[in-house]
Amino acid sequence: MDRKLADTALVPEREAPTPDEFRRMIVPSARPVVLKGLAGDWPLVAIARESADRCAAFLANHANDLPVEILRADPKEGGRFHYAADGRSLNFIRGHASLPVFLAALREQSVAEQPFALVAQGLLAERHVPGFAVSHTMPFVPDEAEPRLWIGNAAKVATHNDPVDNVAVVVAGRRRFTLFPPEAADDLYMGPDHPTPAGTPVSMVHVTAPDLDRFPRFAEALKVAQVAELSPGDAIFIPRNWFHHVEALERFNMLVNYWWNAP
């Protein structure tokens, strides 16, 4: 962990609540919470705990051949999907392949000395892995909240926020979340509305290597930041409008998230 994050407050943790407790107490609090072991009984989580390769193979065997969008960043980018040096263009390219082909590419990169960063983001699970929602249930969220898959190797998603509530479940690998409350927006140096790496503005500051000479107010954001590191089966509740930076820490990582509009 970057030394500037070493003393950052931890996101509060609790053992998995009941669905009623989650809806009645946690969501209305509008505060982030780590939910330990929330998806510990998911089939893919059990497989991932034994072997990341087996998890990827199981997923590939149950996926169809519909194309998915893939982002690829050069090894020199250090896993960051962000802006190029000019601050206007993006530092990665987009392509398309089926999910099984993408998973094979991840396995190939896992043995490379300097791997390309590869990610497939926000895939509708039922579109690409039919039956996923039935075999990997999530009774804590509304029925309209569809599971989305985020798969890749050691990559970093820049700080951003969403106008909806979010439960994110780590299936394979480990992920580090750095969260900032909505009122920290002015200290995060949010980038332009267009272009953006994934459709929403992102912070221009690299959380894992912040340039405080260029972005001095980010030091104030760090004072109110919270950090959590999740393992397979763990989940995190991210309330609407909370900013979050997500770092995948292994050479194969998978996360499932659910977005919904709470009353």
Averaged over successive runs of 10 residues, the pLDDT of the chain (263 residues) comes to 71 95 96 98 98 97 98 97 92 98 97 96 98 97 97 97 97 98 98 92 96 97 98 98 98 98 78
Contacts of 204 (CB under 8 A, 6+ apart): 83, 87, 189, 190, 191, 215
pLDDT value, residue 88: 84
pLDDT value, residue 1: 55
Provide the domain count of the chain. 1
Q: What is the CATH number of the domain that holds 216?
A: 2.60.120.650
pLDDT value, residue 133: 97
pLDDT value, residue 16: 85
Rg (C-alpha) for the chain, rounded Å, is 18
d(CA 23, CA 142) in angstroms, rounded, equals 10
pLDDT value, residue 7: 76
d(CA 78, CA 80) in angstroms, rounded, equals 6
d(CA 34, CA 167) in angstroms, rounded, equals 10
pLDDT value, residue 6: 63
pLDDT value, residue 249: 97
Q: In what order do the strands lie in the sheet with 175-180?
A: 9-10, 226-230, 175-180, 243-248, 156-160, 80-81
pLDDT value, residue 25: 96
Q: Is 193 exposed, middle or buried (0-12, 13-18, 19+ CB in 10 A)?
A: exposed
